[in-house]
């Protein structure tokens, strides 16, 4: 008799909810994260860049604009995020090429890495490659000297 109740109770329980889609990123979210790329704390800038990369294509226009920011840390972090986005960041290529001549060494490094990732992802027709190119140094959110002292 107890087995019957357990079976009936189990059958009466609603199925466990499945996780729904994530909320759609908004302009406010992207704007707040872009502003955070100028934060004084290196880890905060790093986390903001990673979050913007997770937003994806919706952040490309704002990140591209940030490549012209007066703050070199923001420029480097924006380039990093664009590289992590991969193929959807292809519209930023022209601005990234200009950033290759930036006065700031880290912005140049990140722009070069971003261009490599975007080109590789575009040619592969898929996501950003996670492995470094043969012979390339392995970046750890990047070797950003000023972003992560």
Domains defined for the chain, CATH in brackets: 24-124 (1.25.10.10)
Q: How many CB atoms lie within 10 A of CB 95?
A: 18
- Give the Cα separation of 33 and 48 in Å (integer): 5
pLDDT tens, position by position, 84-138 = 999 999 999 999 999 999 999 999 999 999 999 999 998 887 554 454 444 544 4
Enter the DSSP assignment of 84: H
Half-sphere exposure of 71 (CA within 13 A, CB side): 16
Residue 8 confidence (pLDDT): 45
Residue 25 confidence (pLDDT): 57
Three-state SS at 96: helix
pLDDT tens, position by position, 33-45 = 999 999 999 899 9
Task: Name every residue whose Cβ is closer than 8 Å to that of residue 67 and which is 6 or more positions away in sequence.
Answer: 75, 78, 79, 82, 92, 95, 96, 98, 99, 107, 111
Task: Name every residue whose Cβ is closer than 8 Å to that of residue 127 and which is 6 or more positions away in sequence.
Answer: 86, 87, 121
């Amino acid at each position: 008799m107890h087995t019957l109740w357990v079976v009936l109770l189990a059958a009466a329980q609603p199925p466990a909810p499945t996780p729904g889609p994530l909320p759609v990123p908004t302009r406010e979210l992207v704007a707040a994260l872009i502003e955070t790329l100028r934060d004084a704390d290196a880890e905060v800038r790093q986390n903001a860049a990673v979050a913007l990369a997770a937003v994806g294509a919706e952040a490309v226009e704002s990140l591209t604009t940030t490549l012209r920011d007066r703050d070199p840390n923001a420029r480097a972090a924006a380039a990093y995020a664009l590289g992590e986005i991969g193929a959807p960041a292809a519209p930023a290529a022209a601005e990234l090429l200009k950033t290759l001549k930036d006065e700031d060494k880290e912005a140049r490094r990140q722009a070069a890495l971003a261009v490599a990732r975007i080109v590789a992802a575009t040619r592969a027709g898929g996501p950003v490659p996670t492995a470094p190119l043969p012979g390339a140094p392995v970046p750890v959110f990047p070797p950003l000297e000023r972003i992560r002292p």
